[in-house]
Amino acid sequence: MTEPRLGYAVGFRDLYARDGLVRIDEAFLAELAGAAPDLHARLLAARAAPDALDARATSDLLVALAPPLEDFLGTLFGIGAAIAELAGEHKALEPVFRCRRLFVQRRAPKLAQGAAVPDEDALAALLGGPFDERRFAARVLEWMDDEPAHGAALAAAAAYSEWATGSEEGRARHHGSVLFHKPRKTDPEHLVDLVADGSEGFTCFRAPSDHLRRREGFDFDPHDTDLAGALGEAHYCIWCHNQEKDSCSKGLRLKAAEGDEGPRFRQSHFGVPLTGCPLEEKISEMNWLKAEGVPVGALAVVCVDNPLCAATGHRICNDCAKACVYQKQDPVDIPRIETRVLNDVLALPYGFEIYSLLTRWNPLNFARPLPRPESGRRVLVVGLGPAGMNLAHHLLNDGHQVVAVDALKIEPLEPRLSGRNPDGSRTAFEAVREIAGLREPLGKRVAAGFGGLSEYGITIRWDKNFLTVLRLLLERRTRFSMFGSVRFGGVLDADGAFGLGFDHIALSVGAGHPKVLDIPNGLAPGVSTSTDFLMSLQLAGAMRADSLENVPVRLPVLVIGGGLTAIDAATEALAFYPLQVERFYARYEALTEELGEARVRGAWSHGDAALADEMIAHARAIAAERAWAAKEGRAPDILSLLQSWGGSKIVYRKRLIDAPAYTLNHEEVENALGEGIGFAECLSPVAFETDSSGRIAAAMFERQRRDEAGEWHGDGQATLAAGTVVVATGTRANVKLGEEDPEHFPIDGRYFQTIDESGRTVHPEPLPKPRDAAVLLNRYADGRCVSFFGDAHPSFAGNVVRAMASAKKGAPVISRALDEVAPASDLPIEAFVAALRSRLAARLHAIARADGVVLLTVHAPELARRHRPGFRYKLQRLARFAPVENDTRLVRDMTAAVGAGADAEAGRLYLAVADDVAGSLLARTLSPGDMLAVMGPSGEALDPGAGERVLMIGQGFVQAALIGYAGRVAATGGRADYLAFHGTESSPVETALRAEAANAEAVADMAELGRIDFAAYDRVIVAAPVPTLVALQARLAGEGLPGLRPGTPVVAALDAPMQCMIKEVCGRCLQSRVDPESGRRENFFACAEPNQALAAVDFALLAARRDADSVSGRINALWLDHCLNREEAATVA
């Protein structure tokens, strides 16, 4: 392992150790004292009393220190020449921006009057060569130095400038030009170029044809991120920090009124407070340094307030730009500049290490230039989304140990990069010399789980390789550890965490409980929530060509909603469709050649066959277009095909200009329309229609009309064809913990309860810049506290940067709370983490297949200790270790497993899964000792009443949920009998249940139920496949169960389709129940409430939703068998 040779007698390991950082700081101070004694003295004074500096003095000191800091880092890493070269690229572009400001924007309009526009030859003659923006700028600036001698040339140049900026032809020729870019006056209600189509009785907006970008696939789209463009924006900025008017950072503030407790802000045309950057990043100072060619210094300024800036920037945040001082013309594109600032440094040799260092040691951070000494306190951070990761960083820099847990599976990185072995133990890591070593094409990237919403909810508008960068910033630190597949409230709860020795619990659990439409067929097959859709695509990996996952998308796609999530769902559905049908067709062709068409199509229903034939026809049309385009030497026009098949459109109940996506992120509306989606306005959904196979076929809407008073009224009906509907109508704060454990996590309205640092209940301001960051949720008698952040918090909900601001503002509150308590554990860090790992880690002990069930024995001590009958678990294998055969990664994202008992003393949890596609894959590819990701418990335990006599009716793998229940019933003084439906003595699950039950019988069919005396039972629990549950429900509603007493609970333990299993987050598990007496229908989340009254469940819906992707599912099952047979044959050979 080769380590870089660093300057100042510093070793690579010093970059990651506090003692080493202290030596680096001493070296910098010594260098500064020798080169600039006055600046050195100012820095020491600022460190001694950082709060004594006013805003202007702080800015002046920052920009003065940035260049010597940049020089120091160049020497430290031995890359001074590379930094100088980068700075030279900045300076080479400076004449272009000077010419733009002084000539194109100011002088040209006057000088051009009456002058002819030169043609290309004439212009080349004037410039002394072919047109080039740098050449044009250089020559014009030369001529301006002696205008009398170059009047004609300047007039010609001015005429050309006016043509380039003012004519349609000129703007088209110089599209993307930084020289001929003129800010546009803005009209809040016309921020996006649109083409309106009212031919269908409602208005649907699209992008003009010359604005379309023909996107293909899921690789990152880096358009609008070049150096010239970013520098053009930096030079457009007027660096308001010099006048203390930098509203991009501070917000557009109103004069304080008497009695104001905090700042008040101007509002946008749409009533949105213009608060500026929630992190209060030093934006104007960054822009000035970037424009001056101090690229590393600019990043150092960013890192003062936004050390994890890889999570923000271009296409992520725009609170800063919305509050720009330019309110009547295009604002400065600040996020674009910020991302380029970071990328330019990352592209340097050891650029990642420079960025990483600046997040720990930053002399421009006068209050905390170095991480504080170890405090001995330990904080459990729950959730590793934007709020959680930023909170972890700030707490680490405050000297605390941080253990972070997330319900998502977290794939291990290469140990040489992360410094962690796959089991989480520490090992040495290498320096990252080239950032290319951390990048991979997003279309092939396996989701690693780190990042929460940033991983599954944000699309290719953002480079997800930044997640690897962000993860390494944390994972390499000795006081940080993280565990995936941990559902807080399940395997770990508040009492358990405090009992282990944590001193504080910080909740960064985000949003949950997606809203669904309470309309007829609102959950029909083909209808999904946006969270479920994006999770399937991004997290499960359906968008990878090598995946066995799929999201059933059929055109036309309708996305109902008006927020940014609706925008993302609409664009991703359109991009995914070609990949889906091409992958389906390739596998279909290979399988029919090998197995024959009859075998492949034999199990398809009429509806399945129609859908498959449609996908095949579309795949062939796409292939033909690709071939024709290649012959003609052009890019294939797949978009036109997609639009001819119905395309993808957003449907919103109000006007486009009322939609949150427009009022908050109009740039994303423009980008999305540029990818070919439509936006239909003023349509409110009233019902969905299904076809003969039960799939979604159309959506009915009520047209909406807005009167002069702003009131909305119905105005007729409209019906839109739909093959897929994605519902993106919002979520709410994830307070499920409070619903399950109100003692530890009390709720106040829609959010958790909030208390101030003295313990009094408060109501936080709904602004990301509250006067006081009230983030505490509860304080216990021993002084330990729970806090909450991000989308779960009323001040900071809404976007990534607000979530990160909650962490920045809330971390000091946690540190002050920790100062008041003694450390709960004196275990050394590594011993503490090792003990935690031994409880939470899961490894396969044994696996067996029998009678349609795959049984796994998993060594998972804490899960085993907490297991109760009825619990469910999300079972996953690590994709990194999955075999790849025939260009297919042989792993499914998840399997919903049923708990089949536990041996708490041995630390073993027993799981059962159906021996279907997923179960077969597990059985054929896993080996004892393999690491697993087992998340849970989810669902709910089957808790008996005291002294009850219970009948358990079981069939299939799902009845494993009943194992152990008879013992719990007996422990309360009751008795549990077992009735095997279609029983087989070879079933190990049935064998276990028979052994536990007080009495065991078997019936072959419904008729045999007549010999069972149900009058003897106080409760009946049925765990069986859907057809059996349907038959029992019909029997219960018809002739009834013999002797069953009125009011006796008959409970069905459901096996519903699931995805996240975090409880009420994604919506895949949504089902309906109907009160048999009132007929009232309500939806429920089956992963949270799998045990339902048998009579109430809508089993037709459950069966339909389970079979929603039957065609692709059957093809993938055959393809998996094909791949496994090849792999097994190769292994034998």
The crossing angle, in degrees rounded to 10, of helices 800-819 and 386-397 is 40
For residue 35, pLDDT beyond 70: yes
For residue 1131, pLDDT beyond 80: no
Greater confidence (933 vs 920) lies with: 933
Comparing 375-384, 416-425, 912-921, which segment has the lowest mean pLDDT?
Answer: 912-921
- Report how far residue 628's alpha carbon sits from residue 621's, in angstroms, rounded to the nearest whole number: 11
Give 388: exposed, middle or buried? Use CB within 10 Å, 0-12, 13-18, 19+.
Answer: buried
The pLDDT score that the predictor gives to residue 1004 is 87
Instruction: Summarize pLDDT for 156-178 with one digit per residue, the tens.
Output: 999 999 999 999 999 989 988 99
Instruction: Summarize pLDDT for 883-899 with one digit per residue, the tens.
Output: 999 999 999 999 999 99
The pLDDT score that the predictor gives to residue 1071 is 97
- Report how far residue 696's alpha carbon sits from residue 527's, in angstroms, rounded to the nearest whole number: 7
Residue with tokens 């990185």: 413
The pLDDT score that the predictor gives to residue 258 is 67
Q: What is the mean pLDDT of the segment spanning 1088-1106?
A: 96
The pLDDT score that the predictor gives to residue 463 is 95
Q: What is the mean pLDDT of the segment spanning 44-52?
A: 96
Q: What DSSP string describes 754-816?
A: EE-TTS-EE---SSSS-SS---EEEE-TTS-EEEE-GGGSTTTTTSHHHHHHHHHHHHHHHHH
CB-CB contact of 229 with 242 (8 Å): no
- Report how far residue 826's alpha carbon sits from residue 1058's, in angstroms, rounded to the nearest whole number: 41
623 CA to centre of own chain = 32
Hey, is 231 helix, strand or coil?
Answer: helix
Nearest 10 degrees: CA dihedral of 972, 975, 976, 979? -170
Q: What is the mean pLDDT of the segment spanning 386-392?
A: 99
Instruction: Summarize pLDDT for 1105-1121 with one digit per residue, the tens.
Output: 998 888 999 999 999 99
For residue 619, pLDDT beyond 90: yes
- pLDDT band at 1, cuts 50/70/90? low
Q: What is the mean pLDDT of the segment spanning 204-219?
A: 93
- Domain ranges in the chain? 12-78+218-254+264-360, 86-173, 372-513+733-839, 552-727, 841-939, 942-1052, 1056-1097
- Report how far residue 1081's alpha carbon sits from residue 1101's, in angstroms, rounded to the nearest whole number: 12
- Report how far residue 134's alpha carbon sits from residue 140's, in angstroms, rounded to the nearest whole number: 10
Instruction: Summarize pLDDT for 986-1039 with one digit per residue, the tens.
Output: 789 999 999 999 999 999 888 889 899 999 999 999 999 999 999 999 999 999
DSSP structural state of residue 548: S
For residue 635, pLDDT beyond 80: yes
CB-CB contact of 1086 with 1071 (8 Å): yes
- Report how far residue 486's alpha carbon sits from residue 35's, in angstroms, rounded to the nearest whole number: 52
Structure tokens at 269: 């045309």
Q: What is the mean pLDDT of the segment spanning 631-643?
A: 97
Q: What DSSP string describes 565-601?
A: HHHHHHHHHHHHHHHHHHHHHHHHHHHHHHH-HHHHH
The pLDDT score that the predictor gives to residue 155 is 94
Please tell me the number of Cα atoms within 13 Å of 111 on its side-chain side: 26
Percent of the chain having pLDDT more than 90? Answer: 91
For residue 198, pLDDT beyond 60: yes
For residue 823, pLDDT beyond 90: yes
- Report how far residue 771's alpha carbon sits from residue 261's, in angstroms, rounded to the nearest whole number: 7
Which residues lie below 8 Å from residue 911, measured CB to CB, with a gap of 6+?
Answer: 855, 856, 858, 873, 875, 897, 898, 899, 900, 934
Element at 849 (helix H, strand E): strand 842-850
The pLDDT score that the predictor gives to residue 1110 is 85
Which CATH superfamily includes the segment(s) 372-513+733-839?
A: NAD(P)-binding Rossmann-like Domain (3.40.50.720)
- Report how far residue 1123's alpha carbon sits from residue 1133's, in angstroms, rounded to the nearest whole number: 15
Structure tokens at 483: 């565990």
The pLDDT score that the predictor gives to residue 329 is 97
Instruction: Summarize pLDDT for 279-317 with one digit per residue, the tens.
Output: 999 999 999 999 999 999 999 999 999 999 999 999 999
For residue 145, pLDDT beyond 60: yes
Q: Can 552-727 and 841-939 be said to share one CATH topology?
A: no
The pLDDT score that the predictor gives to residue 1076 is 84
- pLDDT band at 1047, cuts 50/70/90? very high
- Report how far residue 238's alpha carbon sits from residue 288's, in angstroms, rounded to the nearest whole number: 9
For residue 1127, pLDDT beyond 70: no
CB-CB contact of 928 with 845 (8 Å): yes
User: What's the angle, vertex CA 449, arms to CA 446 and CA 455, rounded to 5?
Assistant: 85
The pLDDT score that the predictor gives to residue 1129 is 63
Structure tokens at 98: 């000077």
- Report how far residue 1081's alpha carbon sits from residue 739's, in angstroms, rounded to the nearest whole number: 22
Instruction: Summarize pLDDT for 314-341 with one digit per residue, the tens.
Output: 999 999 999 999 999 999 999 999 999 9
Partners of 935 in beta bridges: 874
User: What's the angle, vertex CA 964, arms to CA 959 and CA 965, rounded to 5?
Assistant: 75
Whether the link from the prior residue into 349 is cis, omega within 30° of 0, is no
The pLDDT score that the predictor gives to residue 1132 is 52
The pLDDT score that the predictor gives to residue 793 is 96
For residue 726, pLDDT beyond 80: yes
The pLDDT score that the predictor gives to residue 113 is 87
For residue 462, pLDDT beyond 90: yes
Q: What DSSP string describes 337-387?
A: HHHHHHHHHHTSTTHHHHHHHHHH--TT-SS-SSPPPP---EEEEE--SHH
- Report how far residue 1121's alpha carbon sits from residue 836's, in angstroms, rounded to the nearest whole number: 38
Q: What is the CATH number of domain 942-1052?
A: 3.40.50.80
Q: What is the mean pLDDT of the segment spanning 563-591?
A: 97
Task: Say what the pTM is.
Answer: 0.96
Which residues lie below 8 Å from residue 528, measured CB to CB, with a gap of 6+?
Answer: 724, 725, 726, 727, 1067, 1068
CB-CB contact of 821 with 539 (8 Å): no
For residue 1130, pLDDT beyond 70: no
The pLDDT score that the predictor gives to residue 255 is 84
The pLDDT score that the predictor gives to residue 261 is 66
- Report how far residue 673's alpha carbon sits from residue 647's, in angstroms, rounded to the nearest whole number: 12
CB-CB contact of 1099 with 1092 (8 Å): no
- Report how far residue 395's alpha carbon sits from residue 388's, in angstroms, rounded to the nearest whole number: 10
Q: Which CATH architecture has domain 552-727?
A: 3-Layer(bba) Sandwich (3.50)
Domain 841-939 fold is Elongation Factor Tu (Ef-tu); domain 3 (2.40.30)
- pLDDT band at 1126, cuts 50/70/90? confident
Dihedral over Cα of 184, 187, 191, 192: its sign: negative
The pLDDT score that the predictor gives to residue 259 is 65
- Report how far residue 1008's alpha carbon sits from residue 899's, in angstroms, rounded to the nearest whole number: 29
- Average pLDDT, whole number, for the chain? 95
- pLDDT band at 222, cuts 50/70/90? confident
The pLDDT score that the predictor gives to residue 475 is 98
CB-CB contact of 354 with 348 (8 Å): yes
Instruction: Summarize pLDDT for 762-803 with one digit per residue, the tens.
Output: 999 999 999 999 999 999 999 999 999 999 999 999 999 999
